[in-house]
Amino acid sequence: MPSKFPEIQGGGSLILAWQIKGKEVLVIGGGEVAAGRIVNLLNADAKVTVVCPRDGLNEEVAYRVDRKQVKHVDRVFLPLDLEPEKNVAMILTAIDDPEASTRIWKYCKKLKVPANIADVPPECDFYFGSVHRDGPLQIMVSTNGNGPRMAAAIRRQIGEMLPEGTGDSIKKVGQLRRKLRKIAPGKSTRDISKRMGWMSDVCDQWTTENFNAMDEDDMNTLVQYYEGGKVPTFEEIRLGSRDDVVWEFDGSFGWM
């Protein structure tokens, strides 16, 4: 008999959105791999320090250093870079020295600092996936270290399948949620469940195009339906509240 519960599929990773904003991250190395890691970290608003001799920085990493987007320590890694007072939240190595990378990884394990050793899956506490980004939308594809290039191809396919304007529609949903919390600020479990349930219904019934077309007046009108538990259509919102929209019958309904 098939189980009514999900089957366990071991061997995966726990996919998380790590909130690294404002936290200290150490990147060891200054080549192409390091450059990619730095972009991801800066997009997440991390405070990045690059440890690498100046002559080891590639053009992109040198640009980040010169623009003061990252701090730079002009030498090889030393244990003092992970002293407790530095409050390093994670460390990433991207150097062409497997033995040095392993020594750094072991030191990180001793200090309980999460580490990613580039191209050495057994020495990684976490992996980087291939990410599709559209404003607030982020979709990560991970092959758990088996095929990074394939992950990139799958990520591109997913991005091409998404409706145009998906990121913008998500921004509108975020604005709508904030408005809803203002008019219904209750913090009890019942209040939270009701807000989440109503927002879920709105997202299920409205299309990406509806959210993209929604303006401030539409949002203000929509949240007024919350207490009654109704989710109106986008057309009902516009028809009921907008004087600038003219609804006329032009005989084009296709009646025979």
**34 class by beta-carbon count within 10 Å (0-12 exposed, 13-18 middle, 19+ buried):** buried
Cα-based angle 73, 100, 106 (whole degrees, multiple of 5): 100
Residue spans per domain, the chain: 24-128, 130-162, 166-241
Q: Name the CATH architecture for the domain at 130-162.
A: 2-Layer Sandwich (3.30)
pLDDT single digits (tens) 145-184: 788 889 999 999 999 999 989 999 999 999 999 999 999 9
The strand ranges marked E within the chain are: 24-28, 47-51, 71-73, 88-93, 115-117, 130-134, 137-141
pLDDT single digits (tens) 51-91: 999 999 999 999 999 999 999 999 999 999 999 999 999 99
In Å, what is the CA distance from 45 to each residue of 24, 50, 75, 84, 143? Answer: 10, 15, 25, 21, 25
Known active-site residue 55: no
- Count of helices and strands (H, E) across the chain: 9, 7
Q: How far apart are CA 18 and CA 5, in angstroms?
A: 28
**Would you state the pLDDT for residue 183?**
92
**243 class by beta-carbon count within 10 Å (0-12 exposed, 13-18 middle, 19+ buried):** exposed
DSSP 236: H
- Residue 211, number of CB atoms within 10 A of its CB: 22
> Residues for the chain: how many in total?
256
* CATH class of the domain comprising 24-128: alpha beta
Phi, psi of 105 (to 5 degrees): -60, -45
- Residue 3, number of CB atoms within 10 A of its CB: 6
**Would you state the pLDDT for residue 144?**
81
pLDDT single digits (tens) 114-156: 999 988 888 999 888 888 999 999 999 988 878 888 999 999 9
* The one catalytic residue among 55, 119, 134, 243: 119
